[in-house]
Amino acid sequence: MENSSPAEWNIIFVLKTGQKYDIRHARSIYNEVTNNVKGPYKFWCLTDQAETFGCTRIPLVRNWPGWFSKLELFRPDLGVKGGILYLDLACIFGHPLELPQWDKVLTPGRLFMWKDPWSSVTPYASGIMAWIGNTVTAPYTDFLLHPVFTNPSVRIWGDQNIINTSMPGKIDDIKAFLDVKSFKAHHIKDRKEADIIAFHGRPKPWDIDWSTVKL
């Protein structure tokens, strides 16, 4: 698989058939990136769909339900090297920005996430993540060995729980180079209040006309 040049970031998202998001929402995050991210980057789509509208397609290989498909980002055979920035489909950029050189802000074997403003169970949220490709694989390999799709002791069990559990002491706060805020938790009134704004539940960016998606 073709890799990006040393100067490029790899920006990636996940789109799985049959979930609450579809190709329109994938186009939205594509437009968010192309309209706001300066500097060199390569765009990837980890998906079971054929349409990728300019992204390099990486096939999903596991039929894991719902948000567990996100764990395939950490497949040892993903084939994406260098700095990776993952974005949920329901997030937007607050303003145009230039990503710092990934080799200056990322560390091999370390995963960068943002502090979860809602959960005391999982300290870090998985909506925006960054790492060096092929150096973070535990969320995938651990789940492959012990797939746990439900946990009655946790109200909302998902990929975020798996990632936090499999990476003890190896997660850093992404705020070192990206200001990420929650639309709901931080009571965002203006999209310029953060580099990236994450949306949980309702509303979504397209519900308040902060997105190219019109439903």
Question: Can you give the residue ranges of every domain in the chain?
Answer: 9-207
Structure tokens given for 170: 């190896």
Nearest to 191, CA basis, from 202, 179, 201: 179
pLDDT of the residue at 37: 95
Residue burial 152-189, b: 16+ Cβ < 10 Å; e: rest: eeeeebbbbbbbbebbeeebbebeebbebbbbeeeebe
- State the Cα–Cα distance between residues 179 and 112, nearest whole angstrom: 12
- pTM score over 0.85: yes
CA distances from 25 to 22, 92, 213 (A): 6, 11, 6
What contacts 26, CB < 8 A, 6 or more positions away? 13, 15, 45, 47, 53, 89
Whether the Cβ atoms of residue 13 and residue 46 lie closer than 8 Å to each other? yes
CATH number attached to the domain at 9-207: 3.90.550.10
Q: Is 213 helix (H, G, I), strand (E, B) or coil?
A: coil
User: Taking the CB of residue 111, how many other CB atoms lie within 10 A of it?
Assistant: 27
CA-CA distance, 22 to 177, in Å (whole number)? 30
Distance CA 83, CA 170 (A): 16
Please give the pLDDT value at position 170: 97
pLDDT at 165 (0 to 100): 93
| pLDDT of the chain, 215 residues: tens digit per residue | 556 566 799 999 999 987 778 888 888 899 999 999 998 999 999 999 887 777 899 999 999 998 899 999 999 999 999 999 999 999 999 999 999 999 999 999 999 999 887 766 678 999 999 999 999 999 999 999 999 888 887 777 789 999 999 999 999 999 999 999 999 888 889 999 999 999 887 888 888 888 877 76
Beta carbons of 131 and 111 less than 8 angstroms apart: yes
Integer-rounded Cα radius of gyration of the chain = 16
